[in-house]
Amino acid sequence: MKPFHEVQASNLGSCSVKDEIDSRGYLLIRGLLPQHTLNQVLGDITRILYSAGWLVRDDDPLERMADISSACGDPDPTFRRIYEAVFNLESFQALPHDPVLKQVMRELVGEKILIHPKPICRLIFPRCERLLNYAHQDFRFIDGDPECFTAWIPLHDCPSRMGPLQILEGSHRFGIQRQDCENLDVRKIPEGAVLGIDWVGATSARGMC
């Protein structure tokens, strides 16, 4: 698979964020967010998941080893209860308002930005086929203005073998694409119907955006 085109946060001043987005439909920025901010959010989420029994009891909670026997996902009532607890975390709600992230968004849209009031946390158990995220466009989940931008922020490292984010480069040039809505919890663009240039991906490192 083609690797992401990326820049280091320290080199942002030498490139145009808007030009990068217009060219490829995405921009991966490594090392953008401060580690102490990520540590706070990840620690708060980990405590909730450990208390819920989603992590192996005999392991260090900070290792975040999933207890597969507890696997669940939307729309399971158990999942929604735990997700709500994560969603209500002050640290999680504050993350989209980080000054560094807001500055990048201002470079894209100008001084007036609207931060969506409903951030999404991806809580996915490993080796659980029914919980996979397929090709989709975020606009179909949040609605509003199709000219919106998603900040995808990994809270911990995710190597390629574990299925990190992939993006279809150039897909932004084809507008809103048809998605299968038979299962409203997992909307997806039908296989073979996605429009774009090349799929890109790489190991996801915490703090990139």
Query: Tell me: the pLDDT tens digits for 65-79?
Result: 999 999 999 889 999
* Pairwise CA distance, residues 120 & 203, whole Å: 21
Question: Which alpha helices (H) appear in the chain, and where do they start and end?
Answer: 17-24, 35-51, 77-87, 90-94, 99-109, 139-142
Q: Is 7 domain-assigned?
A: yes
Question: pTM to 2 decimals?
Answer: 0.86
Q: Is 39 domain-assigned?
A: yes
Count structural domains, the chain. Answer: 1
Q: Is 208 domain-assigned?
A: no
Q: Is 207 domain-assigned?
A: no
The tokens for 15 are: 């490139």
* Pairwise CA distance, residues 38 & 36, whole Å: 5
Looking at residue 181, what is its pLDDT?
65
Phi, psi of 63 (to 5 degrees): -80, -20
CA 123 to chain centroid, in Å, comes to: 10
Computed over every residue of the chain, the mean pLDDT equals 86
Range of the domain at 192: 2-201
Looking at residue 184, what is its pLDDT?
47
Q: What CATH number does the domain containing 182 carry?
A: 2.60.120.620
Q: Is 209 domain-assigned?
A: no
- Is residue 165 within 8 A of residue 204, CB to CB? The reply is yes
